[in-house]
């Protein structure tokens, strides 16, 4: 089948492609700065054009490329004991998330995504104090729920960040989070492949077409970290995420 034939499923017109490209670029600007959060930014935009069951596998493909690019420069700072503690829990959560994603009704997923995004934004904006050091036992709920949210909504990285930042120095926490998200993308990618999601060639072609937007976003994000306060920028983005989450809830209630 030709490239045009594979892309014929995505008949959005030039305006739609432009909006999607900008949304993906913005998402990976955030990823380049914070190391997670692509679905929180891109999800509310992409869901205007395709169902959530397509969005999450699409972003997993893009995250797979982006995460390893973030991991390579900082791999020596990874705290292996914490990584090994979280990985099994994350794998269980990812498996449950994929099952829910492929079997729940799309309108319910829309509401859940809106609630999830809004709750995350509210937490980020109002909980400013650094939490006390969490015990290693917290790896079980944080890893499992993080994996569940990662597979179901495309972003569970903030839970890994809460756990790791309470137990490790800044550089080690960031490096370990990058390694964990890299592993998470491999697990989710494998589960979606086994479920037959990537047998749809139009979805793979769409991911290929969006790689330049992803690369541009990462490039901008990495350079912004050298010029702007990461905390101030992420706070601004979080306000936008909150508005997007509330808009999704409103859209569900209006249907």
Tens digit of pLDDT at every position of the chain (255 positions): 555 655 666 778 888 899 999 999 999 988 887 777 788 788 888 988 888 778 888 998 898 888 776 666 666 778 889 989 999 998 899 888 888 877 877 677 778 878 887 887 888 787 665 556 778 899 999 999 888 888 877 777 778 877 887 888 777 877 788 788 888 888 888 888 888 888 888 888 899 999 999 999 988 988 887 776 666 766 777 787 787 778 778 777 876
Q: What is the pLDDT of residues 87-128, one digit of tens each?
A: 999 889 988 888 887 787 767 777 887 888 788 788 878 766
> Which residues span the domain enclosing 208?
3-254
Q: What is the pLDDT of residues 66-88, one digit of tens each?
A: 877 666 666 677 888 998 999 99
Helix, strand, coil percent values for the chain (each to nearest 5): 85, 0, 15
Residue 181 tokens read as 């998200």
Q: What letter does residue 195 receive in the DSSP assignment? A: T
Q: Are 79 and 85 in contact, with CB atoms under 8 Å apart?
A: no
The span from the CA of 168 to the CA of 172, in Å, is: 6
Phi first, then psi: give them for residue 103, nearest 5 degrees: -125, -15
Q: How many domains does the chain have?
A: 1
What per-residue confidence (pLDDT) applies to 100? 82
| Exposed/middle/buried for residue 198 (C-beta within 10 Å: 0-12, 13-18, 19+) | middle
What per-residue confidence (pLDDT) applies to 213? 95
Residue 219 tokens read as 């490039």
Neighbours of 21 (CB within 10 A): 17
Sign of the dihedral through C-alpha 238, 83, 180, 193: negative
> CB neighbours of 190 closer than 8 A, spacing ≥ 6?
none
SS3 39: helix
Phi first, then psi: give them for residue 105, nearest 5 degrees: -70, 145
Q: What letter does residue 137 receive in the DSSP assignment? A: G
pTM of the model: 0.75
Residue 14 tokens read as 């030039």
């Amino acid at each position: 089948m030709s490239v045009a034939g594979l892309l014929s499923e995505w008949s959005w017109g030039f305006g739609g492609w432009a909006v999607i490209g900008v949304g993906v670029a913005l998402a990976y600007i955030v990823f380049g700065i914070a190391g997670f959060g692509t679905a929180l930014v891109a999800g509310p935009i992409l869901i205007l054009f395709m169902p959530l069951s397509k969005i999450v596998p699409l972003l997993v493909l893009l995250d797979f490329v982006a995460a390893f690019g973030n991991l390579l420069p900082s791999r020596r700072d990874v705290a292996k004991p914490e990584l090994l503690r979280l990985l099994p829990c994350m794998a269980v959560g990812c498996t449950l998330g994929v099952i829910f994603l492929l079997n729940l009704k799309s309108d319910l997923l829309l509401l859940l995504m809106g609630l999830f995004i809004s709750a995350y934004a509210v937490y980020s904006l109002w909980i400013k104090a650094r939490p006390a050091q969490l015990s290693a036992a917290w790896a079980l709920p944080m890893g499992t729920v993080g994996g569940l949210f990662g597979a179901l909504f495309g972003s569970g990285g903030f839970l890994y960040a809460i756990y790791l930042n309470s137990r490790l120095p800044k550089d080690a926490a960031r490096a370990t989070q990058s390694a964990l998200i890299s592993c998470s993308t491999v697990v989710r990618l494998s589960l979606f492949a086994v479920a037959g999601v990537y047998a749809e060639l139009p979805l793979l072609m769409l991911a290929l077409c969006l790689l330049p937007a992803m690369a541009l976003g990462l490039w901008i994000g990495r350079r912004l970290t050298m010029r702007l306060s990461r905390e101030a920028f992420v706070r601004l983005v979080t306000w936008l995420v909150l508005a997007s989450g509330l808009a999704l809830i409103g859209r569900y209630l209006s249907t």
